[in-house]
Amino acid sequence: MSRAAQLRPVSELASLPVAIDAMGGDRAPQAIIEGARAAQDEGIDVVLVGVPELLGDTLGLEVVACSEVIAMDDDPAQSIRTKKDSSLVIAAELVRDGRACAMVSAGNTGATMGAALLRMGRLPKVIRPCIGAPIPRFDAPPAVLADAGANAECTPQMLLQFAQMAEAYVTARYGTARPSVGLLSIGEEATKGTPMVKETHQLLADSGLQFTGNVEGRDLIPSPVDVIVTDGFTGNVALKTLEGSLKFIMGVLGQVIGTDEETRAAGLTLLGHLMPYADKLNPDTTGGAMLLGLGGVCIISHGSSSATAITNATRVGRELAMAGAVEAIAAAVQTS
């Protein structure tokens, strides 16, 4: 069982650093340290959590030492039980204990969720926390997909809360006044989908949220709504399908451009114009996903995070803490 969350006021968070899991991610610890340093150079207080003898040069950075590492392929539930002195668990404890305003990890997602849930606790009334993942848009802030994979099995009541939490999150993160909410289904009509989805449709229609109805897989990018609600199984499959499709087509483009001298020159001509789009689609720039429903800010950066990804995730973690995101999410669920 997770503990009850202890909410800290923004005034108390303001003086605290962002705790960064130095051991998590495919490019840890080098890329993480580099990203933390860049964040600090921007004026964001950071504290690295890691095993000192594995970290290398951390000159100028505050380090909280731990002795264990949860690997990317460790069993999440087991590893957080047995590796209590791991960087992930300690980072979550720093937030719990009022020693950090937020935590950032590019490590084992399941273990991050577990450690954050166990240490930070769940907000009152929240049935289950979920992952709010950004999906890039060119002409608007990213849309947020919730749940992007925390809960394979969901009830309509859980999905209603995902919508409420993601709505509050979008406002805290992007300043959107009254975010629109869509329900992922297999047709626009309220009668489409599983019984669970149909019941959720009704709950959302009655919720007071800016619910615009169902959206479909083809609406994921670019999304016509600010929040896309779904269960964690469908959300995970859809998000990975989106990522895989973009990667696939980029691979085709790369292959075609590499054909000969002429195509390479043509590719170079287009590259300058493509870059602004590619930048927006690059997961390193979106600043990571947030776990919604916990007693603190926990940012999950993707496994292959670069230093830039970590810097962006750290900035987002700090901004969300300062924006009172956790209090806003707690309030959104309270009113239901």
- Selected from 56, 222, 224, 254, the binder of its own copies by CB under 8 A is 222
- Going by C-beta distance under 8 Å and a sequence separation of 6 or more, which residues neighbour residue 4? 121, 122, 124, 295
Question: Which tokens hold the place of 266?
Answer: 């043509």
- Cβ of residue 241: shortest distance to its own copies, in angstroms? 4
- Cβ of residue 220: shortest distance to its own copies, in angstroms? 5
Find, among 151, 156, 145, the residue nearest to 122 by Cα: 151
Considering beta carbons, is residue 124 or 222 the nearer one to its own copies?
A: 222
Cα distances from 289 to residues 120, 135, 258, 306, 312, in angstroms, run: 17, 10, 34, 15, 11
- Selected from 243, 308, 322, 327, the binder of its own copies by CB under 8 A is 243
- Cβ of residue 78: shortest distance to its own copies, in angstroms? 12
Count of all residues that appear for the chain in the document: 336
- Selected from 26, 41, 97, 153, the binder of its own copies by CB under 8 A is 153
Cα distances from 265 to residues 249, 257, 282, in angstroms, run: 19, 8, 24
Cα within 13 Å of Cα(328), Cβ side? 19
- Selected from 4, 205, 265, 331, the binder of its own copies by CB under 8 A is 265
Residue 140 binding its own copies, by CB under 8 A: no
Which DSSP string do the residues of 210-228 spell out, in sequence order? EEEEEE-GGGSTT-SSSEE
d(CA 174, CA 157): 26
d(CA 71, CA 62): 23
Considering beta carbons, is residue 203 or 220 the nearer one to its own copies?
A: 220
Specify the stretch interacting with its own copies by CB under 8 A; choose among 10-18, 49-57, 175-183, 244-252: 244-252
- Selected from 4, 140, 256, 331, the binder of its own copies by CB under 8 A is 256
d(CA 47, CA 87): 11
Residue 304 binding its own copies, by CB under 8 A: no
Residue 149 binding its own copies, by CB under 8 A: yes
Find, among 66, 91, 68, 67, the residue nearest to 78 by Cα: 68
- Selected from 44, 111, 225, 239, the binder of its own copies by CB under 8 A is 239
Residue 7 binding its own copies, by CB under 8 A: no
Residues of span 175-204 touching its own copies by CB under 8 A: 184-186, 192-195, 197
- Cβ of residue 286: shortest distance to its own copies, in angstroms? 16
Asked if residue 49 lies in contact with residue 99, where contact means CB atoms within 8 angstroms, the answer is: no
Residue 12 binding its own copies, by CB under 8 A: no
Where along the sequence are the contacts to its own copies (CB under 8 A)? 149, 152-153, 184-186, 192-195, 197, 216-222, 230, 232-234, 236-250, 252-253, 256-257, 259, 262-263, 265-267, 269-270, 273-274, 277
